[in-house]
Amino acid sequence: MLPDAAYAELIGRSREDALVAACASLLEWDQETYMPPGAVDARGDQLAFLAGQLHDRASAPRIGELLAVLEGSSLLADAESASAVNVREIRRGYERQSRIPRALAEDLARTTARAQQEWAGARADNDFARFRPWLARIVALKRDEAACVGFVDSPYDALLDDYEPGARAADVARLYDAIRAELVPLIDAIIGASRQPSVEVLHRGYAIDRQQAFARSMAEAVGFDFAQGRLDLSVHPFCTRIGPGDVRLTTRYREDDLEEGLFGVLHEVGHGLYEQGLDPAHDGTPMGEAVSLGVHESQSRFWENRIGRSRAFWGFATGHARVVFAPLLDDVSPDAFHFAINHVARTPIRVRADEVTYNLHTLIRFELEVALITGALDVADVPEAWNDGYRRHLGLTPATDRDGCLQDSHWSAGLIGYFPTYTLGDVYSAQLLDAAGRDLGDLDAQIAAGEFAPLLDWLRGHVHRQGQRYTPAALVEHATGSPPDHGPLIAGLRRKYTALYDL
């Protein structure tokens, strides 16, 4: 078989796989938004069936035969070409899937479909015992997955690699050590500062329909295309891409907290902009897919924090907010609002955490996940281990499991290994902001004027349209001129909060 024919068949199979995956994504989105609760068992069977189909397709011996024809051919001479990237990443996926039994893939899909509903009920009832057997089952299945995939140092590496290719638990632990050493003194200084913001403005009672209108207007302003996407409600905010022209966002709102819904939307919009910015010419292939969850989170953290919590953004957004929420904000200046949304406090809730304390929340989850997967922590002991982590790293104890170990949906969805990507994304986002500023000039002036297109175009050229051309670390270096480095993140936080709090 000639390489050109082998490549055409390989890409055809990849695009068909993407269609099957899109069907699964649509079912998963529906489950979290509109599916009646009585359908959960049938939905689990549907998702398990599709997981089995995807597994069979991704691990089919024919894939190995096609790859054997292509590897060493002239189509791969340029390592950064679309053909070389696609073959490399399809090989990577083929090797991983070939090690995982179909029955395990199906079991994970079926179990997590039911576990997500049980988690939502357990969270609402503050009942960890209800969720505990489901979490135990998921941890056991993920341990099996790690054993099948293989690892050198830690079974957690096999799971982490699925979200951030090449990342290792030991490296992530070192990053957290370095970040924590910088953050704890900064947090102490901010909380102990004599100058503190008034956060009353965030809790005046904001009608949900007005919050929805304002959040949508901000999403449109920064570039999210609602002709190719939508925004709905869910228990836990998320973003999913069903296919070209179809990116779904969700969030949740509280009348007594303007921040939660708005910044949840900006976070998910960052994900959505990445998905809408992928090259449609490469849809259904690795060159048309995001490179990693860490880079994906760099986009969400970029728009949520680097931009959304900036003074320049609120120079633009305050006027719009006054109109939508009139007369609730008539007495509030952009400076006062900016200070309020950058209040720093030790809180038990990750999604309500400020950008300074946030990475201590993901550190706690990372430590727990490693302990669960290595067997150092039993599922029955998760609530106390969670509370202990919060006492050690944030100096507080959650009052309930609802505000503690039941607050996140990730474990019920089987996403063990995901949490470190939030911190990796935070690191990448700060580097990307610095690089964009060097290339585009006065970003603050552009943002204050509501001119977001140059910045979005920069991200699309340097990140989104690159697909999986580079490894995550190489992409960051290609886009910014430097390898991943937490220095710009810490420097940016120090600069911003020293000015705000008169440190």
Q: Which residues are catalytic?
A: 268
> Residue 102, CB half-sphere, CA atoms under 13 Å: how many?
11
Report CA Rg, the chain: 23
Judged by DSSP in three states, 476 sits in: helix
End-to-end distance of the chain based on CA atoms, in angstroms?
68
Judged by DSSP in three states, 353 sits in: coil
Instruction: Please give the backbone phi and psi of residue 400, each rounded to the nearest 5 degrees, phi first.
Output: -140, 165
Rounded Cα–Cα distance for residues 95 and 411 (Å): 25
DSSP code string of 392-425: HHHS---SSSTTTTTS-STTTTT-TT-THHHHHH
The β-bridge relationship of strands 246-251 and 229-233 is parallel
Per the structure block, which two tokens stand in for 413? 């969805």
Rounded Cα–Cα distance for residues 138 and 111 (Å): 7
Judged by DSSP in three states, 195 sits in: coil
Quick check: 225 and 267 in contact, CB under 8 A? no
Rounded Cα–Cα distance for residues 24 and 18 (Å): 10
| Residues contacting 121, CB < 8 A, separation 6+ | 127, 130
